[in-house]
Structure 1
Amino acid sequence: MLKQGEGDTAKQGQEVLIFETTSYLNGTVLYSNEHTTTPVKVLLGGNQATTAVDEGITGMRVGEIRRLIAPHYLVKRKTYPQNVSPDSALTIKVILHKIL
């Protein structure tokens, strides 16, 4: 955990708004909305994010920041992030902005 949050914890089945930065382990950024005003809406457990993100957000509190080191088998994807080998492990910095 990079920063502790406050309030209720995010649970499977809830929609949340997050900011994230996804990178290769060497630090090369693949995707980031962290420095925007537009969070991404994710239904936890709804196959809208990678397994790593679903599992990593579960239990977070609003305002909490976590850095996830996700092995390739937890970030399997077909189109997100684009042009990334499906065998790549990733670092994902997640900020829980709001629980809906």
Structure 2
Amino acid sequence: MNRNVILIVVIALALLGAIYFMFGRRPGTVSSTLCSNQPPAATGLTNEGVTALRIEDLKEGSGPQAITSNTVRVQYIGRLVDGKQFDSSCQPGRTPFEFTLGAGQVIPGWDSGIVGMRVGGQRRLIIPASLAYGERSPSPNIPPNSALVFDVELLEIK
């Protein structure tokens, strides 16, 4: 009798686990690894040397591909070309950042640099000042006319 009860409980738990695995997570989402395993800062860059958007895939994703007009959720780490971090969604109390590609909600370097990423992918965007904030910095941590380096992980396309 006790064996039958234990067997039924084990089967029920296995079935609940399988149901959660199949239906509990939203399709096209991944959990972040960028925050727990941060890539090293880029080296050898100068503001004057960054004249065009450079895209480096740090990790290829295997999920859906982001296109203009998609709403996406990302984790990111923002640095100056000297490696100094000025912002990150990985900081305690922060959450992934959500925006619509191509809607002008972010700097042009992000709108261009995230298109084509696949969910689960990580990309380094090396962005010239002209595609970042230019002369009008939004923060005292970002000098005017600064090229910026963002490590971005695409978590979800909504």
Q: Is TM-score (shorter-chain normalized) higher than 0.5?
A: yes
Q: Which residue of 1 aligns with 2:114?
A: 57
Structure-to-structure mapping, 1:10-89, within 5 angstroms: 10-34=66-90, 38-76=95-133, 78=136, 80=138, 82-83=139-140, 84-89=142-147
Q: Percent identity?
A: 34
The CA distance in 2 between the partners of 1:74 and 1:86, in whole Å, is 12
SS in structure 2 opposite 1:63?
coil
Give yes or no for contact 2:63–2:119 (8 Å, CA) kept in 1: yes
With over 3 angstroms needed to count, the CA separation of the structure-2 counterparts of 1:85 and 1:21, relative to structure 1, is same
* Structure 2: segments with no counterpart, 5+ residues: 1-56
The CA distance in 2 between the partners of 1:3 and 1:19, in whole Å, is 14
Please identify the structure whose Cα radius of gyration is greater: 2
* AA matched with 2:146: S
Residue among 76, 91, 96 paired with 2:149: 91
TM-score, normalization: structure 2?
Answer: 0.58
More helix by share: 2
* AA matched with 1:48: Q
SS in structure 1 opposite 2:130?
helix
Give yes or no for contact 2:137–2:144 (8 Å, CA) kept in 1: no
What RMSD in Å do the two structures reach over aligned CA positions? 1.6
Instruction: Report deviation, 1:35.
Output: 5.3
The CA distance in 2 between the partners of 1:79 and 1:24, in whole Å, is 12
The CA distance in 1 between the partners of 2:91 and 2:74, in whole Å, is 12
TM-score, normalization: structure 1?
Answer: 0.90
The CA distance in 2 between the partners of 1:98 and 1:8, in whole Å, is 9
The CA distance in 1 between the partners of 2:113 and 2:152, in whole Å, is 8
Instruction: Report deviation, 1:7.
Output: 2.1
Instruction: Report deviation, 1:15.
Output: 0.3
More strand by share: 1
Q: Which residue of 2 aligns with 1:8?
A: 64
Of structures 1 and 2, the one with the larger relative CO (CA 8 A, separation 6+) is 1
